[in-house]
């Protein structure tokens, strides 16, 4: 996306947020590699949900999907899913 006028924003939205979100997973005792993967997934999901909500304006559906994602983060054992 280097040609895009949004390239800097796109890069910064990862570079700025990844360590913050990753630190949260590390504080919850995730292993460093797992924390990085979970942070990457979380940022991608939240960006996608925001894009969906803005594009379609179906707040209830997006809010329900967000609630499910949070529940999966709180209760899921990602290792057993592999």
d(CA 77, CA 49): 22
d(CA 77, CA 56): 32
Q: What are the extents of the domains in the chain?
A: 7-76
- Is the pLDDT at 82 greater than 70? The verdict is no
pTM of the predicted model over 0.75: yes
* Residue 31 CB neighbours (<10 A): 11
d(CA 49, CA 63): 8
pLDDT at position 42 is 97
d(CA 69, CA 71): 5
Query: 7-58 pLDDT, tens per residue?
Result: 888 888 889 999 999 999 999 999 999 999 999 999 999 999 999 999 998 9
- Is the pLDDT at 2 greater than 70? The verdict is no
């Amino acid at each position: 996306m280097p040609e895009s006028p949004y390239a800097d924003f796109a890069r910064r939205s990862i570079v700025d947020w990844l360590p913050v979100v990753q630190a949260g997973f590390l504080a919850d005792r995730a292993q460093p590699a797992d924390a990085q993967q979970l942070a990457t997934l979380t940022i991608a999901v939240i960006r996608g949900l925001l894009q969906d909500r803005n594009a379609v304006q179906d707040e209830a559906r997006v809010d329900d999907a967000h609630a499910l994602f949070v529940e999966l983060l709180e209760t899921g054992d990602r290792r057993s899913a592999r």
